[in-house]
C-alpha cells in the first residue's frame, strides 16, 4: 500500500522539508530558498507547502510526519552540560531555554498551525539526529550494503557515528558524544579565523591551501587526542562552547598567541596557516576513522553525511586512498538533509516498505534536483508583465550553442533551468557559469559578481566522459563533493617565492595562471569537481558539450546563483534581481534569454548590500 | 526592546538555574556523579562508545513528550529514571513550567515578525 511521508528539519540551521512516496523522493527543499534568509532556522512552512504541492497531497493524506531529531534528548544534553560547567554557563542556559524549551518542545503546535494536520497517524514521529543523517546517506545511495559514517557538530548527544546499512536496516554501533566533536573543533577554528560558524567552514577549507600546517603539532599536543582507530577526544579547557556563547576561550587565544580575527578584516598568514593546520588534522582523523570502519565492517562501499561530510577536500583524500571501492556522500549532508533521512527512515523502518534500488545502478537522489521549477509560460508571463526585454529560443540545441558562445567570449551567464537543487551546491539548475580558461574569471566572478572574498575558488563542471582528461579522478562526482588534483600536464609553475617569504597579498597569486583552466584550479592545483552526465541533466550537459566544440574544453566554471550572504535564487524574480544587481552579462530563464545591455534601468528600492547578512 | 513578559521569563530561568539546577549539580558532583568526560584519557585504547541501541524499531519513532509540552514532565522523569539518575527527576516540573513561559515569549516574538535569535544558537 502506498505510503507518503513528510520529513521536517528545523530550529537549528537550514530548516528543510522533504516528501517521500513509497521510498521514492518526490521533493526536498530548504526553507531559506523561499524566505530569502540564508540558513533560515525557522519552521519550514514554505518548504512544506511546496513539498505537498509537488506531491499533490493534502496534509491529512500524509501517512506520517516525522521530525529529524529528539528534542527531549537535546534538553537532557543541555542540562547536563550546564550542570557540568557550573555557574558560568548561565548565559548559555538562558539561550538554550529559549531555544529548546520555548521552541523545540512545541513542535506539534507548529505543525498543527502550519500544516493543519498531523496526518493519518494523528501524532508526530521522531528520529534520532544521526539516524536521520545515516538514513539520508544510505537509502538514496546506489549501494545495497554500505558502511556508514556520520560526522557533524552535535545531534542530541552523538557527534560521530559509525555503522552499516543493509537493505532496509541501518545499524549504528559506535559513537562519539558531545562535547567531543570534530565538527565543533573545525567550527572553533572557523570562528577564530573570523568566519561565521555554520557557514564559514567552507571558506576555511578554501583558505587552507594558502597556508602551511605550522600549527598542526600544537593542535595535536593540546586540543585533540586521536587514537589509531580515528576515535578522538577534545581537551575542552580550550573551548568556549560549554559555558559561553563563543566557540573558543582565553586559553585558546593564548595557545595561538592572539585574539580571534575580526570578521572582514584582512586575512593574514596566521589565518592561512591555522586553516591549513586544522584541515590537515581533520583529514588525518577522517582517514584513520575510515580505515577503522573498513576493518570493522568489511564493506566495499562507504556512505557519509553530517556537516563534516561537506568537507570535499577530506572526501577527496578518502577517495584517493582507495580505502573503499565506492563512496557516496549525501549532497544535503548538513541538517537540511535530515528531513530527507527522517522521511526515508520512517518509510523503510516504521512502515517496512522494501527499499528499491535504482535499476540502472545509479543513486535515487535524482541528481539532487528536488526543488521547485517554473515553466517557460510562467516566466514569459513575468517578463511580459514587467516589460523586461528577452528573446525566446525554443530550440534546445540553439539554446546550448548560444550559452556556450557567450561563455567562450568571456561573458558571465546566470543559468536558471529546471528543478532547484537540494543541498548547498548549485549543480546547473541555479548556477552562474563562466570560462575556466581565463585567468581573470576567478577574481571577476568573486569581486564583481558574487561580491565575496577574492581567495575563494570556483568549481568546474566537466563532462563525465572527459573528467580524467582534466583531473586525476576516475569516478563520477555529480554533487561536487570530491576534490581532485588537476592533471599534472595541465599545471603551470607558479611564482610563490614572495608569498612564502611572508607577503600576505593573496590577489598577487590568485591572478597567476595555475593551469590552462586557471579559474577552477585552486592554489594547490586541486579542483572541486562536478561531473555532468547527459542522464542527470541533459540541458546542462549540452551546454558544456557545445562549449567543447567551440574551445576544445569540455569544462566550464559553475558557481551558485547568488551574491554573498544571499540564499541561492529560487524564483525567476530572484534570478532577475541578482542578474541586475551584479555584473552577470546574460540571464537564461529556461528558454528566455535576457542580455544586460538591453534591460531597463534597475531601480532597487533598497540597498541590497544591507539586506543579506555577510556569511 | 525586551518585553515585560520576556524579562519575567528571563528571571524565572535565572531563578531555576541558581536555585534548582546549580544546587543539584553541586550535590551530584559531591557524590561523584559526572555527566561529561571533559578531556582526553591517554590510557584508553579507543574513544568510541557502544551505542545503547544500534538499530531503530517502529516503537522508537514514538517519543514520549515529543508531541506535547504537557507530556514533557513524564518524558523527562522516565528518561532520567531509565538512565539511573532519579535525582534529576525533581527538575522536571519546573522545566515544564519554564517551557510554557518561554514559549509564550516566543509567540510574542513571532507576532512581531522577527526571527527569534533563540532559534539560531548552538543548541
Give the model's pLDDT for residue B71.
86
Model confidence at B118: pLDDT above 50? no
Give the model's pLDDT for residue A303.
98
Q: Which of A312, A219, A274, A285 is nearest to A522 (CA)?
A: A312
- Highest mean pLDDT of the ranges A7-21, A598-612, B104-118: A7-21
Establish whether the linkage from the previous residue to A573 is cis, with ω within 30° of 0.
no
Q: How far is B18 from chain A (nearest CA, A)?
A: 8
Model confidence at A5: pLDDT above 90? yes
Q: Which of A178, A183, A198 is nearest to A82 (CA)?
A: A178
Averaged pLDDT score across all residues of chain A: 94
Q: How far is B68 from chain A (nearest CA, A)?
A: 6
Q: Which of A611, A615, A543, A614 is nearest to A577 (CA)?
A: A611
Q: How far apart are the first and last CA of chain B?
A: 24
CA A184 to chain centre: 17
Which tens digits make up the pLDDT trace of A18-66? Answer: 999 999 999 999 999 999 999 998 999 999 999 999 999 999 999 999 9
pLDDT band at B121 (very low <50, low <70, confident <90, very high): very low
Model confidence at A141: pLDDT above 80? yes
Q: How far is CA A531 from CA A309, A461, A478, A555, B56, in A?
A: 18, 6, 5, 9, 35
Residues in chain B: 123
Could you please report the per-residue DSSP string of A97-118?
IIIIITTGGGHHHHHHHHHS--
Contact A330, A117 (CB under 8 A): no
* β-strands A125-126, A145-151 pairing: unpaired
Rounded to 5°, the CA angle A449-A452-A458 comes to 75
Give the model's pLDDT for residue B120.
43
Q: Does A172 touch chain B (CB under 8 A)?
A: yes
Contact A407, A520 (CB under 8 A): no
Nearest-CB residue to B118 (from A102, A107, A128): A102
Contact B111, A95 (CB under 8 A): no
Q: Which of B21, B63, B1, B19 is nearest to A104 (CA)?
A: B63
CA A299 to chain centre: 26
Q: Does A229 touch chain B (CB under 8 A)?
A: yes
Portion 12-71 of B in contact with A at CB < 8 A: 13-14, 17-18, 21-22, 24-25, 28, 34-42, 44-51, 54-58, 60-69
Using a pLDDT cut of 90, give the percent of chain A over it. Answer: 86
Burial group, residue A250, by CB count within 10 angstroms (0-12, 13-18, 19+):
exposed
Count of other CB atoms within 10 angstroms of residue B1: 4
Could you please report the per-residue DSSP string of A19-35?
EEETTEEEEEEETHHHH
**CA–CA gap between residue A175 and residue A133 (Å, rounded):** 13
Dihedral sign for Cα A609, A611, A615, B6, please. Answer: positive
pLDDT band at B6 (very low <50, low <70, confident <90, very high): confident
**CA–CA gap between residue A358 and residue A334 (Å, rounded):** 24
**CA–CA gap between residue A342 and residue A8 (Å, rounded):** 8
Each residue of B49-58: b (16+ CB within 10 Å) or e?
Answer: eebeebebee
Give the model's pLDDT for residue A611.
72
Element housing A282 (H / E): helix A269-297
Q: What is the DSSP letter of A354?
A: P
Using a pLDDT cut of 70, give the percent of chain A over it. Answer: 99
Q: How far is A455 from chain B (nearest CA, A)?
A: 28
**CA–CA gap between residue A413 and residue A484 (Å, rounded):** 25
Model confidence at A463: pLDDT above 70? yes
Which tens digits make up the pLDDT trace of A168-218? Answer: 999 999 999 999 999 999 999 999 999 999 889 999 999 999 999 999 999
Residue A254 CB-half CA count within 13 A: 7
Residue whose C-alpha cell reads 534597475 in the numeric block: A602
Nearest-CB residue to B47 (from A66, A169, A180): A180
Dihedral sign for Cα A30, A31, A36, A40, please. Answer: negative
**CA–CA gap between residue A280 and residue A212 (Å, rounded):** 10
Which tens digits make up the pLDDT trace of A271-317? Answer: 999 999 999 999 999 999 999 999 999 999 999 999 999 999 999 99
Q: Which of A160, A290, A285, A291 is nearest to A219 (CA)?
A: A285
Contact A473, A482 (CB under 8 A): yes
Q: What is the DSSP letter of A88?
A: G
Size of interface A-B (CB pairs under 8 A): 212
Give the model's pLDDT for residue A7.
98
pLDDT band at B117 (very low <50, low <70, confident <90, very high): very low
Residue whose C-alpha cell reads 550553442 in the numeric block: A401
Complex ipTM: 0.93
Q: How far is B91 from chain A (nearest CA, A)?
A: 10
Q: Which three cell numbers stand for residue A418?
A: 529546471
Q: What is the DSSP letter of A532?
A: E
* β-strands A64-67, A391-392 pairing: unpaired
Q: Which of A69, A339, A313 is nearest to A201 (CA)?
A: A313
Helix, strand, or coil (residue A303): strand
Give the model's pLDDT for residue B67.
58
Contact A208, A176 (CB under 8 A): no
**More confident: A530 or A98:** A530
Q: Which of A12, A83, A71, A73 is nearest to A243 (CA)?
A: A83
For B6, the closest chain A residue by CA position comes to A98
Count of other CB atoms within 10 angstroms of residue A326: 15
Q: Does A162 touch chain B (CB under 8 A)?
A: yes
Partner-chain contact B76 A162, CB within 8 Å: no
Q: Which three cell numbers stand for residue A102?
A: 520555548
Amino acid at each position: 500500500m502506498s505510503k507518503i511521508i513528510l520529513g521536517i528539519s528545523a530550529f537549528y540551521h537550514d530548516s528543510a522539508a522533504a516528501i517521500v512516496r513509497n521510498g521514492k523522493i518526490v521533493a526536498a527543499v530548504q526553507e531559506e530558498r523561499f524566505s530569502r534568509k540564508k540558513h533560515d532556522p525557522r519552521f519550514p512552512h514554505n518548504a512544506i507547502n511546496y513539498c505537498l504541492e509537488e506531491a499533490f497531497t493534502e496534509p491529512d493524506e500524509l501517512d506520517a510526519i516525522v521530525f529529524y531529531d529528539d528534542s527531549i534528548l537535546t534538553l537532557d544534553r543541555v542540562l547536563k552540560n550546564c550542570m557540568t560547567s557550573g555557574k558560568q554557563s548561565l548565559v548559555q542556559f538562558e539561550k538554550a531555554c529559549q531555544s529548546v524549551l520555548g521552541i523545540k518542545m512545541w513542535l506539534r503546535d507548529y505543525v498543527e498551525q502550519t500544516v493543519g494536520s498531523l496526518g493519518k497517524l494523528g501524532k508526530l514521529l521522531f528520529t534520532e539526529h544521526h539516524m536521520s543523517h545515516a538514513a539520508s546517506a544510505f537509502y538514496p545511495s546506489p549501494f545495497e550494503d554500505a558502511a556508514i559514517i556520520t560526522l557533524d557538530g552535535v545531534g542530541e548527544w552523538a557527534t560521530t557515528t559509525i555503522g552499516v546499512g543493509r537493505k532496509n536496516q541501518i545499524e549504528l554501533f559506535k559513537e562519539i558524544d558531545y562535547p567531543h566533536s570534530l565538527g565543533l573543533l573545525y567550527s572553533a577554528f572557523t570562528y577564530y579565523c573570523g568566519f561565521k560558524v555554520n557557514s564559514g567552514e567552507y571558506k576555511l577549507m578554501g583558505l587552507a591551501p594558502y597556508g602551511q600546517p605550522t600549527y598542526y603539532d600544537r593542535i595535536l599536543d593540546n586540543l585533540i587526542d586521536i587514537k589509531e582507530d580515528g576515535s578522538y577526544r577534545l581537551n575542552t579547557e580550550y573551548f568556549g562552547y560549554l559555558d559561553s556563547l563563543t566557540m573558543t576561550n582565553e586559553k585558546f587565544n593564548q595557545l595561538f598567541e592572539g585574539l580571534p580575527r575580526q570578521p572582514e578584516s584582512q586575512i593574514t598568514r596566521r589565518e592561512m596557516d591555522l586553516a591549513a593546520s586544522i584541515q590537515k588534522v581533520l583529514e588525518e582523523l577522517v582517514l584513520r576513522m575510515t580505515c577503522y570502519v573498513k576493518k570493522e565492517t568489511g564493506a566495499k562501499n562507504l556512505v557519509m553525511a553530517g556537516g563534516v561530510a561537506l568537507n570535499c577536500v577530506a572526501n577527496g583524500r578518502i577517495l584517493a586512498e582507495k580505502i573503499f571501492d565506492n563512496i557516496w556522500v549525501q549532497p544535503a549532508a548538513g541538517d537540511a538533509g535530515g528531513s530527507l533521512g527522517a522521511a526515508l527512515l520512517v518509510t523503510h523502518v516504521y512502515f517496512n516498505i522494501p527499499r528499491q534500488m535504482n535499476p540502472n545502478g545509479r543513486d535515487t537522489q535524482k541528481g539532487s534536483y528536488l526543488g521547485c521549477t517554473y515553466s517557460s509560460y510562467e516566466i514569459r508571463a513575468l517578463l511580459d508583465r514587467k516589460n523586461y526585454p528577452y528573446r525566446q529560443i525554443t530550440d534546445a540545441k540553439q539554446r546550448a550553442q548560444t550559452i556556450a558562445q557567450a561563455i567562450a567570449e568571456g561573458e558571465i551567464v546566470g543559468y536558471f533551468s529546471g528543478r532547484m537543487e537540494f543541498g548547498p551546491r548549485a549543480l546547473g539548475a541555479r548556477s552562474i557559469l563562466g570560462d575556466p580558461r581565463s585567468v581573470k574569471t576567478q577574481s571577476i566572478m568573486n569581486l564583481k559578481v558574487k561580491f565575496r572574498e577574492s581567495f575563494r575558488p570556483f568549481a568546474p563542471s566537466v563532462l563525465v566522459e572527459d573528467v580524467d582528461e582534466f583531473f586525476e579522478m576516475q569516478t563520477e562526482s555529480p554533487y561536487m563533493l570530491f576534490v581532485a588534483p588537476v592533471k599534472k600536464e595541465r599545471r603551470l609553475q607558479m611564482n610563490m617565492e614572495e608569498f612564502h617569504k611572508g607577503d600576505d597579498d593573496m590577489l598577487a597569486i590568485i591572478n597567476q595562471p595555475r593551469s590552462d583552466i586557471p579559474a577552477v584550479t585552486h592554489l594547490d592545483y586541486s579542483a572541486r569537481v562536478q561531473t555532468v552526465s547527459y542522464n542527470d541533466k541533459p540541458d546542462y550537459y549540452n551546454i558544456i558539450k557545445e562549449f567543447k566544440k567551440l574551445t576544445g574544453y569540455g569544462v566550464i566554471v559553475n558557481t551558485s546563483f547568488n551574491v554573498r550572504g544571499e540564499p541561492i535564487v529560487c524564483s525567476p524574480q530572484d534570478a532577475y534581481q541578482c542578474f541586475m544587481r551584479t555584473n552577470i552579462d546574460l540571464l537564461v530563464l529556461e528558454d528566455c534569454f535576457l542580455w544586460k545591455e538591453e534591460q531597463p534601468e534597475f531601480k532597487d528600492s533598497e540597498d541590497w548590500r544591507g539586506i543579506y547578512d555577510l556569511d | 526592546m525586551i518585553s515585560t513578559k520576556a524579562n519575567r521569563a528571563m528571571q524565572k530561568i535565572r531563578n531555576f538555574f541558581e536555585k534548582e539546577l546549580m544546587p543539584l549539580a553541586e550535590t551530584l558532583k559531591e557524590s561523584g556523579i559526572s555527566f561529561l568526560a571533559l578531556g582526553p584519557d591517554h590510557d584508553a585504547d579507543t574513544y568510541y562508545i557502544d551505542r545503547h541501541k544500534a538499530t531503530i524499531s517502529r516503537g522508537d519513532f514514538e517519543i514520549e513528550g515529543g508531541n506535547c509540552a504537557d507530556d514533557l514532565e513524564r518524558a523527562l522523569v522516565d528518561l532520567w529514571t531509565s538512565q539511573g539518575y532519579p535525582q534529576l527527576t525533581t527538575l522536571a516540573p519546573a522545566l515544564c513550567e519554564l517551557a510554557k513561559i518561554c514559549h509564550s515569549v516566543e509567540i510574542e516574538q513571532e507576532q512581531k515578525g522577527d526571527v527569534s535569535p533563540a532559534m539560531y544558537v548552538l543548541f
